Structure 1
Amino acid sequence: MHKAAAAPLAGVPELEAIPGRDLFEVARYLIPMQASLVQGCLVASGIPAVLADAHLMQTDLLLAPALGGVRILAPRDYLDQAQAVLAAFERGEFALGEDADVGPA
């Protein structure tokens, strides 16, 4: 990767570029449903995030640790915003309260 292209990633060494694409790994989860939930929060926040390897993990969850789990990928232009959303998710800002109205019963 070119030095100038890697500059935005200097503070977040765990981000990896996907060869041939402008997508970077922003998170990784062993449980596909959890990865899907986080990806949904990213998309709801306006980040075009996608899942990689989710179907592979769902076929056999025992393979998840060996294969590294489900990756959430986002374009370079959204990396800072994605990190902020992930931090908010970890703080519980996307959690619904017990009295949340989720539709008709």
Structure 2
Amino acid sequence: MHLSSDMLNAALAGTPEEARLPGRDLVEVARYLIPLEASLVQGCLAASGIPAVLADAHLVQTDLLLAPALGGVRILVPEDHLQQARAVLAAFARGEFALGEDADVGGE
């Protein structure tokens, strides 16, 4: 059986481990195999006022074949923003951040 990147991303993002980093209040809220998707979600979180950082993004970008072995790019947020971040992730999954065909993105 061949799994597409969308299926793997869904599997990783659907059940993220709430891995606490030693000495920090950051909590893992999602994982993505494709670094660009993780950056996009990080941007949506930041636009919603949630400080979010990417972990392992540069390592995965160096060699995409490492992504499954590393578990993808992790998105980390402060623990006190966890519920709000989950709501933003759910909104992203529903397509609420998608731009319409007629969206003005500032092009000339």
Please classify the TM superposition score into its range, dividing by the shorter chain length. Answer: 0.7 to 0.9
**Residues 13 and 92 of structure 1: is their aligned pair in 2 closer, same or farther, counting only changes over 3 Å?**
closer
CA RMSD of aligned residues (A): 1.3
Specify the alignment match of 1:83 in structure 2: 86
The size of the alignment, in residue pairs, is 94
Write out aligned runs for 1:11-22 (5 A).
Answer: 14-22=17-25
Q: CA deviation at 1:13?
A: 7.5
Check the 8 A contact 2:56/2:72 in 1, yes or no: yes
TM-score under structure 1 length normalisation = 0.86
Amino acid at match of 1:77: D
Tell me the SS of whatever aligns to 2:38: helix
TM-score under structure 2 length normalisation = 0.83
Q: Quick check: which has more Rg, 1 or 2?
A: 1
Write out aligned runs for 1:25-104 (5 A).
Answer: 25-104=28-107
Q: List runs of 5+ in structure 1 lacking aligned partners.
A: 1-11
**1:65-96 Cα shifts (integer Å, max 9, x gaps):** 00111000000110000000000000000000
4+ long deviations beyond 2 Å? none
Q: Percent identity?
A: 81
Q: List runs of 5+ in structure 2 lacking aligned partners.
A: 1-14
